[in-house]
Amino acid sequence: MASKKRILSGIQPSGQLHLGNYFGMMKPAIELQEQGEAFLFIADYHALTSLHDAGRLRQLARDVALDFLACGLDPAKTAFYRQSDVPEVTELTWLLSIICPMGLLERCHSYKDKLAKGLAASHGLFSYPVLMAADILAVQSDWVPVGRDQKQHVEVTRDIAQRFNHTFGDVFRLPEPVIRDDVALVPGLDGQKMSKSYGNTIELFGPLKATRQQVMRVVTDSKSLEEVKDPETCNVFALYRLLASPTQQADMAARYRAGGLGYGEVKKALWELMEAHFAPLRARRAALEADPDYVADVLAAGAQRARAAARETLDRARHAVGLD
């Protein structure tokens, strides 16, 4: 029987997780744990390129762990760990960097995008695709789930791995990006893609009153209550359909097209769906937060599994370059 495919995902603890994270990354990652040998890491080294508050980094990393476990991540099926608990990755980063061309990094879109958003042009920000490559190659991942805007990172990883293999001999398997076309674009409060960097998010487990206020602030057009409306161009309906059943979606779309429906009513219906979906997850999260030893044990066990895979890879890479 063929061995299971290894699947690697990672997420930065750079802010509170939100609906965009949930539908764009968290839910798909949790579903993939049924399809292969899954590794999921909290990318705290990557977060350091923009977050320089030690206490906040620790808290956000812990919050990410709580959020994923509350949303259904099974530590028996997924090696769940902090990136910084696998030191083999940082040594591997150096071995990869010696054969990574400057031009390859200069072409990376994300570096240019982050500079445009005001981040300082540090070496870490410039070279973090090499660290990302080490994350992927250390565990010899076969599949890397990414959005279309992140596909370039997997392509860079493949390029670096091929150069290393060509120079020193076959050490790394080449990962494949897994792009899910059924993952919807989640609009933020202002209609742009929901993102912490835009400050337009609806948090998963924020205070209830504040989260409801976020929902009620989703931008709409200025059509009156009586006017016919187009659900396909409405940010509120785009969020509603993520949580609604097909029947609920069809009924709400028909009300849009019939006229007499106010956006406030749709926002209230969206909030009710959110509460129905996330209330049991919020309760689970509260129970996990009351048991910090369990969360710590999950991360430690995940790091042990990841380190075992990474150690094997690093030993092969060190031998290949002559460091053993």
Long-range contacts of range 217-220, CB-CB < 8 Å, 24 or more positions apart? 217/189, 218/187, 218/189, 218/267, 218/270, 219/189, 219/190, 219/191, 220/263
Task: Compute the average pLDDT of residues 47-72.
Answer: 96
Res. 95: pLDDT tops 50: yes
pLDDT band of 149, cuts 50, 70, 90: confident
Asked if residue 320 lies in contact with residue 161, where contact means CB atoms within 8 angstroms, the answer is no
Res. 1: pLDDT tops 50: no
149 vs 262, more confident: 262
Give, as one character, the DSSP assignment of residue 26.
I
Q: What pLDDT is recorded for position 264?
A: 96
Res. 198: pLDDT tops 90: no
Query: Where does residue 140 fall: left (phi above 0), alpha (psi -120 to 50 degrees), or beta otherwise?
Result: left
Q: What pLDDT is recorded for position 151?
A: 86
Active site residue 268: no
- Token pair recorded at residue 317: 């890479």
- Which one, of 82, 87, 84, 135, lies nearest residue 296 by Cα? 82
Q: Choose the weakest-confidence range: 3-12, 158-167, 252-261.
A: 3-12
Place of tokens 């061995």: 3
Calculate the average pLDDT of the chain. 93
Q: What pLDDT is recorded for position 112?
A: 73
Element (H, E) at 233: none
Res. 184: pLDDT tops 80: no
Q: Choose the weakest-confidence range: 27-36, 55-64, 163-172.
A: 27-36
Task: Compute the average pLDDT of residues 206-225.
Answer: 95
Query: Tell me, what amino acid is at 30?
Result: I
What is the sign, positive or negative, of the torsion defined by CA atoms of 153, 3, 23, 58?
negative
Active site residue 196: yes
Which strands, in side-by-side order, build the sheet including 37-42? 78-82, 37-42, 6-11, 143-145, 176-178
List, for residues 246-263, the tens digit of each pLDDT value: 999 999 999 999 999 999
Q: What pLDDT is recorded for position 116?
A: 75
Q: What pLDDT is recorded for position 120?
A: 76
CA-CA distance, 216 to 93, in Å (whole number)? 45
CA-CA distance, 126 to 104, in Å (whole number)? 11
3-state DSSP percent of the chain in helix, strand and coil, to 5? 60, 10, 30
Place of tokens 């530590």: 75
Query: Tell me, what amino acid is at 222?
Result: S
Q: Choose the weakest-confidence range: 128-137, 182-191, 240-249.
A: 182-191
Q: Does domain 196-286 have CATH number 3.40.190.10?
A: no
3-class state of residue 222 by DSSP: coil
Selected catalytic residue, list 5, 77, 193, 268: 193
3-class state of residue 47 by DSSP: helix
- Chain centroid to Cα 79, Å, comes to 15
Q: Does domain 6-184+292-321 have CATH number 3.30.465.10?
A: no
Helices 263-289 and 235-243: crossing angle in degrees, nearest 10, is 50
CA-CA distance, 52 to 119, in Å (whole number)? 12
Task: Compute the average pLDDT of residues 129-157.
Answer: 92
Task: Compute the average pLDDT of residues 49-73.
Answer: 96
pLDDT band of 182, cuts 50, 70, 90: low
Place of tokens 């292969």: 36
Query: Where does residue 169 fall: left (phi above 0), alpha (psi -120 to 50 degrees), or beta otherwise?
Result: left
Q: Where are the domains of the chain?
A: 6-184+292-321, 196-286
Q: What pLDDT is recorded for position 181?
A: 66
CA-CA distance, 301 to 318, in Å (whole number)? 25
Res. 2: pLDDT tops 60: no
Res. 319: pLDDT tops 90: yes
Selected catalytic residue, list 114, 117, 151, 267: 114
List, for residues 105-122, the tens digit of each pLDDT value: 988 877 777 777 777 778
CA-CA distance, 33 to 41, in Å (whole number)? 13
Res. 269: pLDDT tops 60: yes
Task: Compute the average pLDDT of residues 295-317.
Answer: 98
